[in-house]
Structures are given as structure tokens and as C-alpha cells.
Structure 1
Amino acid sequence: MGQPRKSRKKYNTPPHPWNAERIKNENKLMTKYGLKNKKEIWKADTLVRRYSREARYLLGFDMDQMQDEKLELLGHLARTGVLPEGAALEEVLNLTVEDILRRRLQTIVYKKGLARTPKEARMFVVHGHITLNGKKINSPSYVVLKGQEDEIGFYPSSPVAKQIEEYNKNKNEKATEE
């Protein structure tokens, strides 16, 4: 059954470690999303494969319980923002690793303009400068739900938040003077 204190790894490694094309694609994703290591890509890839496997399984049946499970899977993916509302089950098969990486807290902090680079966004999250619904989130891999995007901001007593407010205030004053 396994040791309860030691959790299993949540990713599968690539089947061939020295595939040049895969390594090049992973390096592009790492720079685009500011990832720390390739394990984060492999975790997202494992999620995509799990969703695809479940969708293929559900496409093979037409029972009532399978309909409930289809709605549950599609609802989960719609809540997380990976798929749009009302998407068909076949669209789950077209998911990519980037669809999962776009929903990470680190990426959304960067896209909202709270950080200048993805690496800086990661640093802000890890150092506790970012809140979600008023709670500090220290994990850059936290998957942000669709409805939570607007509630991301700086922690009120964060020195970074104060510096950015001062910078924006000075910037606005200079703009009004001219």
C-alpha cells in the first residue's frame, strides 16, 4: 500500500531522456513561463495525459453514470479555465501542456502585470508578496480557478507593494505635470 508519509511522485519522466526536439521544446516552455526545472513541465504533461485518458475512457461509453462523469470532468476543466464553458468532451483530447501552464499562479501574476518577467512573478509568489482572496499563496504552481483571477494582488504589508504604489504615484504625478 505504501508509506503514508512519503507521497508518490506526481509526474512521469519522458521515455527517452536525450531526445533533442523534446529538450528544445521544454527549454522554450521553461523560458516562456519562467519555470524552475523540467519537472514542472512533466507534471503538467502528466495532468494532460490523465485528462486525455479519462476523456477517451468516457467517450467509449454512453451509460447514465458516464454522462455524470463527463459533466464532472468538463465542469472541472471549465472551472479551472483550461476549457471554455460548454466545451465538448472531444476538446479534452486537444489539450496541451501550455493550457495547463497558463493557469498557474506564477503565469497569471505575470500576465496581470504585477511582475515584469515570469521569473520575477515566481519570486514574488515564493517570497509571499502575492495574495489570493486575501490569503498568501507561496506556491507558484497553484492552479488559479477562473473566478479567482480578479482577486490576485499584492499582500497589503508587502514592501514590494509599497514600492510599486510609490512608483505608480510618482509616475502619475509626472504625467499630470506634463
Structure 2
Amino acid sequence: MGDPRKAKKNYTRPRSIWTSDQISSELYVVGSYGLRNKKELWKAQTEIARIRNQARSLLALPIEVRQEKETKLLNYLSRFGLVSNNSTLDDILNLKIEDILERRLQTMVMKRSNLKSPYQARQIVVHGHVSIGNRIINLPGYLVKKDEETEILVHLTPVVEALNNTS
């Protein structure tokens, strides 16, 4: 069965969290995307930093070694809709925190369903009123893949009843 992986932090905090510019910019992003706390913001920042570091390390490699790894990274990011299919490593270096926050299920539901606020979208997702395909997803931070965008369904009636009626 193997040994279980050790749980580790999947985000890094900023070095100083008490600067007024940083507080105001973080609060704006947290409020506009309906994040529960700054930890969710820091997770997205860490993910963007990880992707950009990969792109930087690929740029340092010789061209013949870089080609295969570059296509893998670009395919991975295009699957999530973060970059287009004909992008380059420079496009990856231009990614911002908003690009990854736009791919969250909570944000997608808010934009597609004409809801009043991102917090209302979060509540609908957490209460299990959203399904992708035939799967109920109650994680507001779920990153929606590009091919799953069309399969997002918001059921204001309980999802189990709605799925039973369609089958």
C-alpha cells in the first residue's frame, strides 16, 4: 500500500503582510473574487509563481532539451485555459493572479448564472447545486478545465433530483 505522503503547506505567505498597499490590493482581490480568506489568495499566488519558475528554468535550458518540456508545460496550461494553444514561454511569464482566479468554479458560476455576488456563487457551489457533467462538485476553488466549461450546470433544485430526472 505504501507510505502516505506527508502533508505540507501548499502556499507561501508574503514576507510582510502589514504594508498598507499590500493589504488594500489583497482585500480588493479577495472581495472581487469572493475568496474566503487570504490563504486562498496565497495559494493562487504560489501556483502562479510555481508555473512562472518552471518557464524561467526552461528558458535557461538549451533549445534541443527545452522543446519536449516546453510542449508538456504549454499543453498542461492550455488544458486549464490559462494560455492558448499557440502560446510561447513569454506568455506564461505574463500570467497574473487574476488568470488563475478566473478559472475557479466559483468565478465561472458567478459569471454564467447572473448571481448578485461571488459569495452567493460560493454558497451555491458549497451547497452542492453545481455539477460538471454527471459529477457534483462542491469545491469553490476547483480549477475548471477548458473542455469542462460547457458542462457546468447550476441546479437551484437539489442536484441529485436533477441528475435523476435527466438520466
TM-score, normalising length from structure 1? Answer: 0.83
1:57 maps to amino acid:
S
- Residue number in structure 1 paired with 2:117: 117
- Residue number in structure 1 paired with 2:165: none
Cα deviation, 1:2-22, whole Å, max 9, x if unaligned, reads: x94651111000011211111
Cα deviation, 1:111-135, whole Å, max 9, x if unaligned, reads: 1125332101100111101001121
Cα deviation, 1:5-50, whole Å, max 9, x if unaligned, reads: 6511110000112111111111001111011000011000001110
1:44 maps to amino acid:
A
1:11 maps to amino acid:
Y
1:110/1:68 CA distance change after superposition, 3 Å: same
Gaps of 5+ in 1: 163-178
Pairs within 5 Å for 1:16-95: 16-95=16-95
SS in 2 for 1:10: coil
2:64 maps to amino acid:
D
RMSD (Å) for aligned C-alpha atoms: 2.0
Cα deviation, 1:77-111, whole Å, max 9, x if unaligned, reads: 11101112211111111111100000000000001
Cα deviation, 1:36-66, whole Å, max 9, x if unaligned, reads: 0000110000011101110000001125342
SS in 1 for 2:68: helix
Tell me, in whole angstroms, the C-alpha distance in 2 between the residues paired with 1:127 and 1:157: 11
Which contiguous aligned blocks of 4+ residues in structure 1 show a shift greater than 3 angstroms?
Answer: 3-6
Tell me, in whole angstroms, the C-alpha distance in 1 between the residues paired with 2:16 and 2:73: 31
Tell me, in whole angstroms, the C-alpha distance in 2 between the residues paired with 1:126 and 1:46: 24
Tell me, in whole angstroms, the C-alpha distance in 2 between the residues paired with 1:94 and 1:126: 32
How many pairs are equivalent? Answer: 159
1:144, distance to aligned residue in structure 2 (A): 0.1
User: Does the CA contact (< 8 Å) of 1:134 and 1:155 recur in 2?
Assistant: no
1:111/1:50 CA distance change after superposition, 3 Å: same
- Residue number in structure 2 paired with 1:152: 152
Tell me, in whole angstroms, the C-alpha distance in 2 between the residues paired with 1:24 and 1:71: 38
SS in 2 for 1:112: helix
- Residue number in structure 2 paired with 1:132: 132
Gaps of 5+ in 2: 163-167
